[in-house]
Structure 1
Amino acid sequence: MNLLVTGAAGFIGSRYVRTLLAADAPDAADAPRITVLDALTYAGTLDNLELDHPRLEFVHGDIRDADLVGKLTAGADQVVHFAAESHVDRSILTASDFVLTNVLGTQVLLDAALRHGVDTFVHVSTDEVYGSIASGSATEEYPLEPSSPYSASKASSDLLALAYHRTHGLDVRVTRCSNNYGPHQFPEKVIPLFVTNLLDGAKVPLYGDGLNVRDWLYVDDHCAGIDLVRTRGRAGEVYNIGGGTELTNKDLTGLLLEACGAGWDRVEHVEDRKGHDLRYSVDWTKARDELGYRPRHDFTTGLAETVAWYRDNRAWWEPLKQRVSGGKP
């Protein structure tokens, strides 16, 4: 079986590919051959991939390149689509790259998948499409109320993907995850940004009063959920994938300070982000009941392992931090 994975030089996609390629992965003898398509924008790096693995082929290219995408999907049985511009702050500064990649790029992939008879198309999305949740948790039927250009572009691509199922019968399955964390996350996101700043003796920027709430999901649990959707999910369905640990940004900051041996004097309060959603929360009962999904990593252990990884892997993140400056959570 041939699997095309887009955006797999980034954080979550690369973890997903490494999991499938692992020698001790379930059913490894029958594991798919994987083609990775990635444009290697600033947040992607080949250091995230095992390029010498016999079941992996890397192709440098853009998901908006219809000719290239057509050639790759012609040889693919399934597509798992991670590729996206994903940093909210950047989308607020300039939205064009988000619309072009997240919406147009997804449409190019869907057209190619339909044209070449791809069996299954898994579209990886985000809980941010639901917008801020005052109480309770969003089920998959919750209305989409995105706040940022990033989340609006992801909501658009979700609806486009589902439309290809309803109109053309393409087997599309959509996942919406909560905030991911873990090794190999690009150091502009809040956890690696704060950890690397603290390890360097720098301050960390905390938005507003720090009371915005996020649900935290260890990347390996997310990848396991995605593969359950790929292998057991139903066509035309959306599946929420949550972590089960809701924290305010202030509480998260306190845990990171403690893990890095730093005090609150290292925190710089900064002006709140425009349109900053107060709380995200997803109900993942559907994935649990239909697919057997459950997050396996408790947050305390996962965070400790993540901090330790960044402490031990400066050679990975220091060059990446030089690509960006002034990142905020």
Structure 2
Amino acid sequence: MNPRPNDEPSLLGMCLVTGADGFIGSHLVELLVARGCRVRALAQYNSFNHWGWLESLTCLPQVEVVSGDIRDPHFCHRMMEGVDVVFHLAALIAIPYSYVAPDSYVETNVRGTLNVCQAARAVGVRRLVHTSTSEVYGTARYVPIDEAHPLQPQSPYSASKVGADAIALSFHSSFGLPVTVARPFNTYGPRQSARAVIPTVISQVAAGCRVLKLGDLRPTRDFNYVEDTCRGLLALAQCDAAVGEVVNIGSNYEISIGDTVRLILELMGAEVEVQQEDERLRPPQSEVFRLWCDNRKIERLTGFRPRVDLREGLQRTIAWFTDPVNLQRYKPHQYNV
């Protein structure tokens, strides 16, 4: 099978994006609309009728927004009606909060994924792209990390995602549901939560903090600009050979948190003191110390390659966060669990 060119217009039909109100989900909605897809976007229900980051999209008039919760199986069935392709991103993702409320991660990430798979099977969707995370690999036993690497859940969050991935793959094996498990490494960019290290650094510096409060600077990560992650998800949705497969999305570039911080400070022209804050540290056995993506499989299947290198991606991210309108959405002086 010849890989589909990355820039070929999408012919996916009606797409449902769960978690569309979040960081990656809102960017994916933008990409799908730009590629000519009809998009139904799930925002988690709240009494304020607020649609998260969807509210900031200029393409919002072209999007059908529904509010609800994937923990309700009957709601999942209703929202799936008429859908051709599902991009399942809805999840609880903050690792520190998973130490505080692990039950909620099982309910949303495992049970919620079961509900999504049941509904997708019932209505006969053409493709379900389930979004995993590199955290399921734990600290690398070898690098770069390919899809055969053992799974090592080192936090309740990663354990819940291992469970969610297994549910999705079991529906392919048991019922023929056309599932692909997409496993992005560390995505960053505009709109990301301040719980992540890159927004934490940029927002603190942009707010004028003279002391930068961070966690452990030793771990390494494979950072990916959000537009590349979304392009990877779209490429997998259009690849028949990816059905039933787990596929990494990453850059094949490893950098330590400390070096990432130094690069951000260089790009921002900032001189600040960096302090380790104990409340930002994971429990010792829970920290994932090394992540480095082997991205050969996605390139072989789809022809996908990331386009935005770390320096350019950080420049774009800094430009977004330092806009006062965007910065005021964050609380740089407060640790965001």
Instruction: Report Cα offsets for 1:120-176 as digits up to 9, x if no partner.
Output: 110011111111104312211222111011111111100110000000110000000
- Tell me the residue number matched to 2:293: 282
Q: Tell me which residue corresponds to 2:150.
A: 143
Matched, 1:18 2:23: no
Q: How far apart are the structure 2 equivalents of 1:255 and 1:6?
A: 33
For the residue of structure 2 that corresponds to 1:45, the secondary structure is: helix
Offset at residue 178 of structure 1 (A): 0.8
Distance 1:319 1:212, change over 3 A: same
1:304 corresponds in structure 2 to 315
What is aligned with 2:335? 326
Compare 210-219 and 187-196 and name the one that shifted more. 187-196
Matched, 1:8 2:15: no
SS in 2 for 1:20: helix
- Tell me the percent identity: 37
Match of 2:305 among 291, 294, 313: 294
Q: Answer yes or no: is the 8 Å Cα contact 1:217–1:244 preserved in 2.
A: no
The Cα RMSD (Å) is 2.0
Change (3 A) 1:310 1:319: closer
Within 5 Å, give how 1:63-78 maps onto structure 2.
63-78=70-85
Answering whether residue 194 of structure 2 is matched by residue 187 of structure 1, we say yes
Partner of 1:167: 174
**Which residue, 38, 41, 62 being the options, matches 1:36?**
41
Alpha-carbon contact 2:20-2:54 (below 8 Å) kept: no
Q: Distance in 2 between matches of 1:63 and 1:8?
A: 12
Answer yes or no: is the 8 Å Cα contact 1:99–1:153 preserved in 2.
yes
SS of aligned partner of 2:308: coil
Q: TM-score, normalised by structure 2?
A: 0.89
Which residue of structure 1 lines up, in the alignment, with residue 57 of structure 2? 49
Is the CA contact 1:245–1:299 (under 8 Å) kept in the aligned structure 2?
A: no
Q: Is the 8 A contact 2:42 2:65 kept in 1?
A: yes
Please list every run of 5 or more consecutive structure 1 residues that lacks an aligned counterpart in the other structure: 26-30
CA distance in 2, matches of 1:245, 1:270: 27
SS in 1 for 2:254: strand
The question of whether the paired residues in 2 share the 8 Å contact of 1:9 and 1:49 is answered with: no
Structure 1 position 247 matched with structure 2 position 258? no
Could you say what secondary structure the match of 2:152 adopts? coil
- The one-letter code sitting in structure 1 at the alignment partner of 2:304 is Y
Amino acid at match of 1:182: G
The 5 Å alignment of 1:113-124 reads 113-124=120-131
Would you say how many aligned residue pairs link Structure 1 and Structure 2? 316
TM superposition score normalised by structure 1: 0.91
Tell me the amino acid that sits aligned with residue 170 of structure 1.
Answer: L
Question: 1:190 Cα deviation (Å)?
Answer: 1.0
